[in-house]
């Protein structure tokens, strides 16, 4: 199972790195568009503003960065032999959950608690 877990983490990392590259490209595009425009882009009747697009892309970059950090922690748990063990209750995390969320630290009941 260890090899499967390592592969799950590696596959998700590759997806996120592709997504991060797209977000970085989008941010570069917005930066370029902003350099040729006025600072007041809030009145564009054609759609969302550059500021809105920038905020959205920054949020996506933050989310991807957070998930990459979670995957790093998951890789450390694989190495330590604690991957797949709930950090809250110590019970096993179902393999199906790990396949969906390779960085999961909590079983479903613990993750569902408020």
pLDDT at 33: 84
Q: Which long-range contacts does 103-111 make (Cβ < 8 Å, 24+ apart)?
A: 103/9, 103/12, 103/67, 103/70, 103/71, 103/73, 103/74, 104/74, 105/70, 105/73, 105/74, 105/77, 110/86
* pLDDT string in tens for the chain (114-residue length): 899 999 999 999 999 999 999 999 999 998 888 776 555 555 555 656 888 999 999 999 999 999 999 999 999 999 999 999 999 999 999 999 999 999 999 999 999 998
What angle, rounded to 10 degrees, do the helices at 50-80 and 2-35 form?
A: 160
What is the domain partition of the chain in residue ranges?
2-39+46-82
Q: Rg of the chain over CA atoms, in angstroms?
A: 19
pTM of the model: 0.81
Say if residues 22 and 73 touch (Cβ distance below 8 Å). Answer: no
The total of other beta-carbon atoms located within 10 Å of residue 48's CB is: 11
């Amino acid at each position: 199972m260890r090899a499967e877990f390592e592969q799950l983490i590696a596959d998700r990392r590759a997806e996120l790195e592709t997504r991060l590259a797209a977000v970085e490209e989008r941010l570069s595009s917005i930066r370029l568009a902003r350099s040729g425009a006025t600072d007041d882009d809030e009145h564009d009747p054609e759609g969302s503003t550059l500021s809105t697009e920038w905020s959205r892309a920054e949020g996506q970059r933050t989310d991807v960065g957070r998930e990459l950090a979670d995957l790093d922690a998951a890789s450390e748990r694989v190495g330590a032999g604690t991957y797949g063990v709930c950090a809250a209750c110590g019970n096993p995390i179902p393999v199906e959950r790990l396949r969906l969320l390779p960085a999961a630290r909590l079983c479903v009941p613990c993750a569902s608690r408020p």
